Amino acid sequence: MIQQAGVLAPIAAGPLVSWLNNYAAIHQVDLELIPGYTPIDSSNAEPSLWQQLAQDIRKLSSNYEGVLILHGTDTMAYTAAALSFLLPNLTCPVILTGSQIPLAEPNSDAELNLNRSLNLLINYASQLPREVFIFFGHALFRGNRATKIDNESQYAFDSPNYPSCLRYTAHDKIEFNSDFAALRRLSLAMPICHSLAPIKIKVRLLAPGLQELDIEPNSCVALILMTYGAGNAPTNPDFLAAIQKLTAQGVLVLNLSQCLRKTTKLNNYAVGCALRDVGVIDMGDITLEACIAKLYYLFNSEVANLKKYLSLDLVGEM
């Protein structure tokens, strides 16, 4: 990103490539820039980008000690979550990073994030699990557990329901977190996803007084309900009848809490049980970003029982 006509916009020619080449020369390491990507504002990132990245990384990862993806912060967690599903058998760690302030701007955090991410991939690759991460500010998070929590701070990301893999201390030392566990592979085969075709997903945030869904069954294949607290929602008969109509016609209705931390528990309250009884699927402590990525992955895979796989922890996402 650079300033153009008073606003930030992405460009292909800028200080980033020069910075990377200079870093490689100073540290005497081989950095290869992978062609075929046009810089975009990450607000324009689409599932087609996830697919392109996954295809390239599958071809490349066996030849490299690590892969670094430079990504805008707004949708970084979506891309990281999607890649965790699309790349379940990585041979090297993949890190996504970016910055709140572009490299060419005063007080940018870009150089800090670049330096620390590259240091991890170059000097600590053998100690990192083979999975997808987000590094930002001071911490390395599992990609499908991270979410953006701040629009200005250099600590823009957090992992509300799973510990970070490691952190940089105030003295730039690295402390690995013993509570972080590398992925346990499922005993059953992971679904195969060759491409990501568009699917229709709707998200509804509940609020007091909003008791009508107003969603036709043919308008989506999945509805994510952002519910209160432990997964609670109104027991208004019309509201519950609308959900039951959707589930009866094959729409997957998923329950996520509006709270960042902890998990939904539909069995704790009568209002939660009412959702369960009309076919709503409890998604536990998954982030919205990972939930959407998981839906894209499963709907584009050869899966007979979507509900079963939605409820399983496939790649450490829940």
Read off the pLDDT of residues 184-221 as tens digits, 9 standing for 90 and up.
877 677 888 888 999 999 999 999 987 678 888 889 99
CATH number at residue 14: 3.40.50.1170
CB count, 10 Å around CB of 36?
6
**Token pair for 201:** 């997903």
Are 119 and 157 members of one domain?
A: yes
Distance from first CA to last CA of the chain, Å, rounded? 34
| Residue 261: inside a domain | yes
Tokens of 69: 């993806």
Over 90: is that where the pLDDT of 112 sits?
A: yes
Per-residue pLDDT at 167 exceeds 70: yes
Residue with tokens 């308008």: 219
Are 209 and 277 in the same domain?
yes
Is residue 3 one of the residues assigned to a domain?
A: no
> For 7-16, 26-35, 64-73, 115-124, which range has the lowest pLDDT when averaged over its residues?
7-16
Residues 142 and 263 occupy one common structural domain: no
Higher pLDDT, 289 or 64: 289
Domain that holds residue 306: 201-311
Inside any domain, residue 205:
yes
- Compute how many other C-beta atoms are within 10 angstroms of the C-beta atom of residue 204: 16
Query: Does residue 266 carry a pLDDT above 70?
Result: no
- Say how many domains are in the chain: 2
Q: Which among 220, 224, 216 has a CA at the least distance from the CA of 245?
A: 216
Least confident of 11-15, 55-59, 86-90, 314-318: 11-15
The tens digit of pLDDT for each residue in 6-37 reads: 888 888 767 888 899 999 999 999 999 888 88
pLDDT value at residue 17: 87
